[in-house]
Chain A
Amino acid sequence: KNEVEQSPQNLTAQEGEFITINCSYSVGISALHWLQQHPGGGIVSLFMLSSGKKKHGRLIATINIQEKHSSLHITASHPRDSAVYICAVRKGGSEKLVFGKGMKLTVNP
């Protein structure tokens, strides 16, 4: 069983929908990262969280340390949001990241 699990694995939405991507982890962490990977491979860091909630534009990320769970929300989704969204955690006492398999999001116009 992976230490980082993401759900769903794939999601197709219509433009304008509110989208939630979930990430659960089974280890103690010092930080959690949400990353976005577009076709072609490049990865962009969206958020780094250690507690609470962060917002950037239409994206909101939350984390519940007690429940070992994080969510990434996309409001008013757009076709350009189509990408793979990856959750990664930095285990406590380590500098290395452990990655989830990612969730492929397709937003149709």
Chain B
Amino acid sequence: EADIYQTPRYLVIGTGKKITLECSQTMGHDKMYWYQQDPGMELHLIHYSYGVNSTEKGDLSSESTVSRIRTEHFPLTLESARPSHTSQYLCASSTGLSGNTIYFGEGSWLTVV
């Protein structure tokens, strides 16, 4: 069973609010990822990190930001939420070994009204 946790699972917030989606893993994985997925569509990588103090933007442009101060923690922040940010956000982690299993959190459903 994967030890990767996301909070909140579901959130409805107003336009302009700041929101942080939390992601924590207890497996000691160096690599962590944030994906965005709209209903019925494929996952798109928005941010990734290969270790502490290492963060990169993914393939899909996103107005969110991330930080990686501790190995186990990879929060995603939206400074000013907009309705276009309504989506599911999935956090994942894997070991430093290429091709190893990737573990996903349960996802955070964000609705901006």
Interface residues of A (CB under 8 A from B): 2, 4, 30-31, 33, 35, 40-45, 48, 50, 86, 88, 90, 95-97, 99-102
Contacts and interface: CB of A to CB of B under 8 A. Distances in A.
Contact of B41 (A31, A48, A88, A101): A101
Contacts of A4: 42
Given A30-B98, A90-B99, A95-B50, A100 B88 contact: no
Contact of B99 (A2, A50, A100): A50
B104 interface: yes
B58 A96 contact: yes
A40 B9 CA distance: 9
B100 A43 contact: no
A38 to B, nearest CB: 10
B43 A99 contact: yes
Contact of A97 (B2, B45, B105): B45
B102 A41 contact: no
B107 A42 contact: yes
